[in-house]
Structure 1
C-alpha cells in the first residue's frame, strides 16, 4: 500500500493585471521602469518591459501591438483591465521624420495603445523631479540642467532609487502643470515642446503599488 503524501501544493500566483511597455531607448527607459517594477513588488500585476530592435516611434508602437496580439492569442489579455504603453521621445522624431511620428500616434490611438511621450527627451522627465520648468528646452540643454542636480548623470545608469524615487510625486505634479498649460495655449496634442507623458504611466504604476 503506497504511503500517503504530505507534500503541500504550492498555490499558484494569480495575475490580475498585465501592463506591456515598449521603450524607444535601449537602456535608460527600460532600466528606469524595471527599477520601479522591482521596487513596488507587485504580486498580482505583471509588468513586462518589451525588448525590440527599432528606435523610431512606429517601431515602438508596433512592438507593443505584436506583444498584445500574442497575449490575445494565448487568451491571457483582457481589454477591461490590461494596458499597453509606447514610450518614446518627441523632438528629433518630429523634426527628422514627421510622417513616422504622425503614423505612430495615429495607429496607437486607433488601437488603444497608451502613449507616454516626453518632449524633448527622458532627461526632461528626470529634470522636473528637481524643478518646475515650462519654457522650451532643447535635448542637450535638458541634460545640462539635469547635471546640476545629478552631476555624474550617465544614460546607461539608473537613478530611480537614489535620486528620483523620493521626488516622483513632485515630477508628476510638474508634468500635470505642463499639461494644463498646453491645454490653455491650445498646443497640438503630443507636440507640446515641453512635456512628459511618462507621468501618466508612472502614476498608474504607483497607484497599483498602493493597493
Structure 2
C-alpha cells in the first residue's frame, strides 16, 4: 500500500491532554506487549474511548509504524500509539521514530526492551542494559524476591497474567519512570535505558478518572 499520501489529515488529537474517541495501539508481537495492553484495556473498561490493540506480527520498529499507518487509513483513529523497542536495529528504530512523528503518531518506546518497564515495577535502575538477554536475569531476580516467580522458575514472555501480577507495583513503576526521565532526559527516544510506557498508561488512567 502506498504511503505517499499527504499526512495533513493525520494531524489530529494526539496533542490533547487525554485521548478521546477511537484509539489504536500497535505492538510488535502477539505475546508480551499484546497481552499487557489487552489486559489494561479490559481492566479500565473505558466508556468514552474505543481501544483497539493490534499485533504487527513480529515486525521491526518501522514495520510497526507502517502497520499503524495502514490501519489508520482504513479507519481514521483519533489517536495512534506505536509500541516498540530498539530491537538492536538502531537505523530502523530511528526511522520508525521519524516516520511516526511525521504521521503524528505517538511512539511508546522502551530501551533495550519492553521488559525494562516491568523491571521498574520492582526497582529503580539506570543500568545501560544492552539487550533483553542481559536484562532478563535482573527481572527474574526481582520477581522471585516478590514471590511472582518461584525459585528456579523463569520469566515467561507469553504469560497472559503478567499485567495482573505487575499491577500492584504499577504506581512504583510510574514513579521510577518519571524519576528516570528527570535524571536522564529522553527527548529523542534514544536514551538507554528508558521507557515511555508510563505516559500512555497515565493518559488512559486520567481518562478513567475523568469518566
Task: Give the TM-score of the pair, scaled to structure 2.
Answer: 0.79
Query: CA deviation digits over 1:121-153, x for unaligned, max 9?
Result: 111110001111112123223211111214242
Question: Within 5 A, what are the aligned runs for 1:30-45?
Answer: 30-45=34-49
Q: How many residues align?
A: 180
Q: Which has the greater radius of gyration?
A: 1
Distance in structure 2 (CA, Å) of the matches to 1:202 and 1:25 = 19
- What are the equivalent positions in structure 2 for 1:46-195 lying under 5 Å apart? 46-72=50-76, 77=77, 82-94=78-90, 98=91, 100-138=92-130, 139-148=132-141, 149=143, 150-151=148-149, 152=153, 153-158=155-160, 159-161=162-164, 163-183=165-185, 189-195=188-194
Residue 154 of structure 1, CA deviation: 0.2
- In structure 2, distance between residues paired with 1:46 and 1:112: 19
Q: Distance in 2 between matches of 1:116 and 1:52?
A: 15
Which whole-Å CA distance do the structure 1 matches of 2:114 and 2:29 have between them? Answer: 9
Q: Give a deviation string over 1:15-39, Cα, whole Å, max 9, x none.
A: x521101111321000000001101
For structure 1, the residue ranges without an aligned partner over 5 or more in a row are 1-15
Q: CA RMSD in A?
A: 1.7
**What is the TM-score normalised by the length of structure 1?**
0.79
**After the TM superposition, which parts of structure 1 deviate over 3 Å for at least 4 consecutive aligned residues?**
none
Q: Secondary structure at the match of 1:210?
A: helix
Consecutive unaligned residues of structure 2, counting only runs of 5 or more, are 1-19
Kept after mapping to 1: 8 A contact 2:83/2:109: yes
Deviation at 1:202, TM superposition (A): 1.3
Does the residue aligned with 2:190 lie in a helix, a strand or coil?
coil
Most deviating of 47-56 and 125-134: 47-56
Contact 2:40–2:163 (CA<8 Å) still a contact in 1?
yes
